[in-house]
Amino acid sequence: MDWLNYHHLLYFWTVAKEGSISAACQKLHLAQPTISGQLKKLEEAVGQNLYDRVGRGLVLTDAGRTVYRYADEIFSIGEELKEALKGRPTDRPLHLTVGVPDSLPKMIAYRLIEPAFRLEEKVHVECREGKIQDLLGELATHAVDVVLSDMQAASFVSVRAFNHFLGESGTTFFAAPELAQRISSVKFPECLHGNPMLLPCGAATLRRTIDHWFYSNEIRPEVVGDFEDTALMKVFAQAEHGVIPAPTVVEEEVCYQYGLEVVGRAPEIVERFYAITVQRRNKHPAVVALSEAARSELFG
């Protein structure tokens, strides 16, 4: 695609926004063959089908949804430009789209994202959860501004991304009060041996580190559950189903929110956290704010 005809993009955007070609014709005061022809030229320019025909209607393809999202941003900014040139104030908030992998503890995600709401200008935050590989794919297409992760963007992933180190934390083990009291007669970490344990899934970076730590300390807990969702894991711990690990930096929040008690701390089990972007140097004001807050407040 060498260049983009913005008239074609406008017709496409209007059709998608109005819901049909006929409605777009009324909006644009153009004949149906004209709009249909322009849509066809846009598809030829981008090299992909933007619509699928379903019955007598049109449904956006995945490529169509991507084009629509960018077109919506382009023409919304155009309207804002006209208002600004007329001397009218605009209150369009800064938009921040954050990718949050399943493996990232929700309390860490909250503590990392929350500083964006403290900026003087209004910020609209959109959080997207999923697998790290999928989120990095969205980062490459600029569908997300930043991916927060407990692992670096691996070199084998075909995405040009930069890992911005935010900080690190040791690990604390927690349990419901009754279970914590029952195993406390033995010193930590030996008290974990043979007792029920709830852990992140095997693919998680933290899980591999913990498994190695267990092996090095000759500890064989009874792993009764594996979880992708660490928040769900904490709920099962709250119901006395086992001991769980979590970052020490959110120790107080875990105890308060889930009514758990500290069984012991393992500072040598280190979890590192990153803000992954497509820029070598962060420029988005909200990404800069959350990165600085992470280093000075959460991990400082």
Q: Where are the alpha helices (DSSP H) in 159-250?
A: 177-183, 205-216, 230-238
Dump pLDDT digits (tens) for 42-60: 888 888 888 887 766 678 8
Which of 46, 276, 67 minimizes the C-alpha distance to 157?
276
- Predicted pLDDT at 35: 86
Per-residue pLDDT of the chain (300 residues; tens, 9 = 90+): 457 788 888 888 888 888 788 888 888 888 888 888 888 888 888 888 888 877 666 788 888 889 888 888 888 777 766 765 655 555 678 889 999 998 899 999 999 999 999 998 889 999 999 988 889 888 887 889 999 999 898 755 666 789 999 999 999 999 999 999 999 999 999 999 999 999 998 767 789 999 999 999 999 999 999 998 889 999 999 999 999 999 999 999 999 999 999 999 999 999 999 999 988 888 889 999 999 999 999 998
Q: Residue with structure tokens 């043979």?
A: 194
Edge-first strand order for the sheet with 162-175 is 123-130, 94-101, 146-149, 261-277, 162-175, 244-247
> DSSP of 233-253, one letter per residue?
HHHHHHTTS-BEEEEGGGHHH
Tell me which H or E stretch contains 60. Answer: strand 57-60
Which of 173, 255, 166 minimizes the C-alpha distance to 206?
173
- Cα separation, 68 vs 47, whole angstroms: 15
Taking the model in full, what pTM does it have?
Answer: 0.69
Q: Report all structural domains of the chain as residue ranges with CATH numbers, in order of start.
A: 6-85 (1.10.10.10), 93-300 (3.40.190.290)
Provide the token pair at 89.
């104030």
- Predicted pLDDT at 1: 46
Helices and strands, counts by H and E, the chain: 11, 10
- Predicted pLDDT at 97: 94
